Structure 1
Amino acid sequence: MKLTILGCYAATPRSMTNPTSQVLEIKNKMFLIDCGEGTQVQLRKNKLKFSKISHIFISHLHGDHFFGLIGLISTFSLLGHQKDLHIYGPKGIKEVTLLQLKLSASWTSYNLYFHELESRMPEVVYEDSKVKVTTIPLKHRIYTNGYLFEEKPAERKLNIDAAQEYEIDTCYFQKIKNGADITLDDGRVISNSTLTFDPPAPLSYAFCSDTQYLEDIVPQLRNVDVLYHESTFLEKEGHLCERTMHSTAQQAATIAKLANAGKLILGHFSTRYEGIEPFKSEAIEIFANTELADDGKVFEF
């Protein structure tokens, strides 16, 4: 699992910082999460292939999370993109996107599918044989979702030495990797645990931005491997959270601790601050395994 931060700052882009956008690579799939202004430029800077993106997840319709979407959609057409493109986001994402395409006469050269979200409860919005994506309902000034990405358990790994020892025919290998025991010709039953090794534990990643402090999400985040949580303010500006419906670094750390997360990544920093190190300093008082997002930073898990 690999996470590339394209942008992780709040509100407006600056010469050296970009609004929210990131790419999650999991099970050989590439998912774009949020698409703030300048996302396609950041994709190029980080040498990420446009052609690998076929699913985009938008958390909410504030500009710093989706103003880069129409530019990216248009560039896909200019590049001769042919694969279907799926966009998941709040109701309204289809209307605002199609209006821009209509007025600019820039219809796509590929199929564009919108999956509009309205539920206030977690719902599975994407699933295939390897990955499942579920919404995380958040509390912000407008309808907002985070997203939980979960690997599905892999098939078991064959212990080839054991299979040869019991003279098991290769035609049974896939059945064994799927978890089956094997009965030999003499009636002995060889347990699957003897014939296989455990696969790597499936990984999970939760994206939570933007939101006010919300303990309601803790059960859904329980034991998540990596949690990205917004941390717009430091504690001295914590009083701003109620009006803006954002979180502090310490509040993000509290959610990570309550959820027993493996790692916390802080992001969505207010641009009022000269540096971001104080966010980590405040968070590690509560949750030690905390790291800071930053534009262009890559995390591999």
Structure 2
Amino acid sequence: MEPFKIHILGCGSALPTLRHNPSSQVVELRGKQFMIDCGEGTQTQMRRSRIGFNKIVAIFISHIHGDHCFGLIGMLSSFGLLGRTMPLAIYAPKDFKPVLDMLLATFCTDFDYEIQFHAVDTTKQQVVYEDRSLTVETIPLKHRVPTCGYLFREKPTLPHIRRDMIDFYGIPTSQINNIKNGASWTDEEGREVPNSRLTAPADPPRSYAYCSDTCYLPDLAARVSGVSCLYHESTYATPDIEKAQKYFHTTAAQAAQVARDAQVGRLLLGHYSSKYDNENVLLEEARQVFEASELSNEGMVVTL
């Protein structure tokens, strides 16, 4: 099974603290790396996590609040200083385009790589990126500005070859790909060996949903139903639910309700308010609703 990993670079909210950086993550699948959000300090966190700057294929920005994009222009500049030549795709709400253009014109005028901007519609769930390995969909969210999450879905893989059966029937290596794609085998005596005897089922496709920032949305569970892992903002604990409602954020218990109703594999909590010196209060209330809840933390690597 190819690695499918999520690198947590920042899981705090608007105010950086000595314990948490603003939002940023890197999703790694089959040798490619994709960044989600790029808060202040992301470059430093990439260094600490030993993530190669030139391996980032695309960057997905959820919304235009500083704690999700203040680190972007500095990182783009560093890409240029490091001699990047591979194009970089940026997916973000359309209103980010003039801001990005102004910053690039001011600070980054001599790049040797192309920046390809893709405006996303935050009101629709639709595929915005696709390659041979995966698709990335937008997830409509509700915040103070147009916001969407992103859903990474691994594409189905081919069945596993049963080496013992291949050896038993003396099947040449040249036929392996045909068998992986569904072919049977006819032995020297003309007897057909069905494909089901020569292969084992493929690994089930994995998926990861990133949802930050948003108020509680009961219908969100249907959009992320059955994902292997869900990252959902949990800015506040339930005693601060009025703040959550005022600023269009979610409590840890509400995030856990989404995870429970969606029947996800596991829940990662994040986007913590700086008011909490210890996020265990968030973890405890989430686990009362959905046991498979975890706290995200800088430097954490989640393997699906």
Q: TM-score, normalised by structure 2?
A: 0.94
Output the CA distance in 2 between the equivalents of 1:249 and 1:173.
49
Identify which of 289, 294, 297 aligns with 1:294: 297
Shift of 1:205: 0.7
Identify which of 185, 197, 201 aligns with 1:198: 201
Q: Report the 3-state secondary structure (helix = DSSP H, G, I; strand = E; otherwise coil) of the residue aligned with 1:164.
A: helix
User: Is it true that 1:148 corresponds to 2:151 in the alignment?
Assistant: yes
Number of paired residues? 301
Matched to 1:81, the amino acid is R
Change (3 A) 1:199 1:134: same
Change (3 A) 1:105 1:201: closer
Output the CA distance in 2 between the equivalents of 1:32 and 1:3.
10
Q: Report the 3-state secondary structure (helix = DSSP H, G, I; strand = E; otherwise coil) of the residue aligned with 2:6.
A: strand
Identify which of 247, 255, 258 aligns with 1:255: 258
Shift of 1:141: 1.0
Moved over 4 A (4+): 183-187
Q: Report the 3-state secondary structure (helix = DSSP H, G, I; strand = E; otherwise coil) of the residue aligned with 2:277.
A: coil
Task: Kindly indicate whether the alpha-carbon contact (under 8 Å) linking 1:73 and 1:108 is maintained by their aligned counterparts in 2.
Answer: no
Matched to 1:135, the amino acid is T
Change (3 A) 1:105 1:128: closer
User: Is it true that 1:136 corresponds to 2:133 in the alignment?
Assistant: no
Identify which of 92, 95, 99 aligns with 2:98: 95
Q: Which whole-Å deviations, capped at 9, do the CAs of 1:64-120 have from their partners, x for residues lacking one?
A: 001111110011001111111111111022221110121235342201101111251
What is aligned with 1:214?
Answer: 217
What is aligned with 2:177?
Answer: 174
What is aligned with 2:87?
Answer: 84
Gaps of 5+ in 2: none
Matched to 1:38, the amino acid is G
Q: Report the 3-state secondary structure (helix = DSSP H, G, I; strand = E; otherwise coil) of the residue aligned with 1:284.
A: helix
Output the CA distance in 2 between the equivalents of 1:223 and 1:211.
20
Output the CA distance in 2 between the equivalents of 1:105 and 1:249.
40
Shift of 1:183: 4.3
User: Is it true that 1:19 corresponds to 2:48 in the alignment?
Assistant: no
What is aligned with 1:285?
Answer: 288
Output the CA distance in 2 between the equivalents of 1:62 and 1:193.
52
What is aligned with 1:189?
Answer: 192
Q: Report the 3-state secondary structure (helix = DSSP H, G, I; strand = E; otherwise coil) of the residue aligned with 2:289.
A: coil
User: Is it true that 1:104 corresponds to 2:107 in the alignment?
Assistant: yes
Output the CA distance in 2 between the equivalents of 1:62 and 1:191.
56
Matched to 1:241, the amino acid is A
Output the CA distance in 2 between the equivalents of 1:107 and 1:63.
25
Shift of 1:132: 1.0
Task: Kindly indicate whether the alpha-carbon contact (under 8 Å) linking 1:223 and 1:260 is maintained by their aligned counterparts in 2.
Answer: yes
Matched to 1:70, the amino acid is I
Task: Kindly indicate whether the alpha-carbon contact (under 8 Å) linking 2:122 and 2:147 is maintained by their aligned counterparts in 1.
Answer: no
Q: TM-score, normalised by structure 1?
A: 0.95
Matched to 2:158, the amino acid is E
Q: Which whole-Å deviations, capped at 9, do the CAs of 1:121-140 have from their partners, x for residues lacking one?
A: 21101111111111111111
Q: Report the 3-state secondary structure (helix = DSSP H, G, I; strand = E; otherwise coil) of the residue aligned with 2:77.
A: helix
Change (3 A) 1:105 1:222: closer
- Deviates most, 215-224 or 282-291: 215-224
What is aligned with 1:229?
Answer: 232
